Structure 1
Amino acid sequence: MQRLKTRPQFQAALAGGTVSRTAHFALHRLTLAQPTDTSAFPSGQVGPAPSQEQALFDLFDVWLGAMVPKRWARRAVTRNAIKRQIYNVGERFCHHLPAAAHVVRLRTTFDRKVYISASSDHLKLAVRQELEQLFERALHHGHHQGVRS
């Protein structure tokens, strides 16, 4: 699994569309095209150049980024704890995900009245369970993508 690092990578993945959503998170995905095998073309002729978005991802692999805006998680300790959970859960699911650029985005705050401590075990567990649900839904989405009528 590769990690998204640059702003254009994050922007491209976000533009790919939302594949899954939970109460606090959204998962965005930009599917990566299989690199074209140039040996299949007659001498000198090369396949279409990768799109600008595709060119941002030099490896045909599962890419993952975490967006935890200050707006939704004020304290750095909370943002870091949530990001760690995103990457940990993502690592467990990466073998089941398609080769694509994924961004998990925190889309609303965890209630400070319920989660009083900035990085309590209670908060970490809630985040992990919700992220597992997010990735499960994304897997389900991928299998049924063309089936809906």
Structure 2
Amino acid sequence: MRPRHLRIRPQFQALLAGPTVARTAHFALHRLSADGLARAPEPTQALFLPADTVWLGAMMPKRWARRAVTRNAIRRQIYAVAEEISSPLTAGAHLVRLRAAFAPAQFPSATSAALKRAVRAELMTLFGRRGA
């Protein structure tokens, strides 16, 4: 089943208010499990209906990816890897946040194959560390 995408600012804010569950050199993963959603205040619960669904969001600050084409390529990789991983994401809300820039000297093209491979490999590591 494909995850539903986070769309509105309060959804992102609710996830950012919680702890980071996994980190890599360039990404951080925030999660609010289905149990956490059940215990959350009523306004937060209303943001993630139905609660037994997988919600996924990608946050790419311009600070770390200046070009829109790069932000969009990374975002597409996040959604693709989330669908392809061997152990699917658990019900609840997940947010992948870019927390550091990929070196422009190493990846001069905004959508190079090398950048896509590096992003994909790091995302596989991130989703592998996500815990239970």
What is the CA distance between 1:126 and its match in structure 2?
0.1
The equivalent position to 2:43 in structure 1, one of 36, 47, 52, is 52
The TM-score normalised by the length of structure 2 is 0.89
CA contact (8 A) 1:15 1:30 kept: no
Partner Cα separation in structure 2 for residue 117 and residue 9 of structure 1 = 32
Change (3 A) 1:94 1:17: farther
Change (3 A) 1:34 1:77: closer
Unmatched 5+ residue regions in structure 1? Answer: 37-47, 143-149
Cα root mean square deviation, aligned: 2.2
Matches within 5 A, 1:1-149: 1-33=3-35, 51-59=42-50, 60-93=52-85, 96-138=88-130, 141-142=131-132
The TM-score normalised by the length of structure 1 is 0.79
Change (3 A) 1:75 1:89: same
Unmatched 5+ residue regions in structure 2? Answer: none
Partner Cα separation in structure 2 for residue 34 and residue 24 of structure 1 = 26
Bigger radius of gyration:
1
What is the CA distance between 1:50 and its match in structure 2?
5.8
Equivalences, count:
129
Question: Which amino acid counterpart does residue 110 of structure 1 have in structure 2?
Answer: F
Runs (4 or more) in structure 1 with deviation over 3 Å come to: 33-36
Which digits, 9 at most, give the CA deviation of each residue in 1:28-71, with x for residues without a partner?
001123998xxxxxxxxxxx996321211111211000000100
Partner Cα separation in structure 2 for residue 94 and residue 75 of structure 1 = 31
Question: Which amino acid counterpart does residue 91 of structure 1 have in structure 2?
Answer: E
Percent same amino acid at aligned positions? 59
What is the CA distance between 1:95 and its match in structure 2?
5.5
CA contact (8 A) 2:37 2:45 kept: no
Partner Cα separation in structure 1 for residue 41 and residue 18 of structure 2 = 15
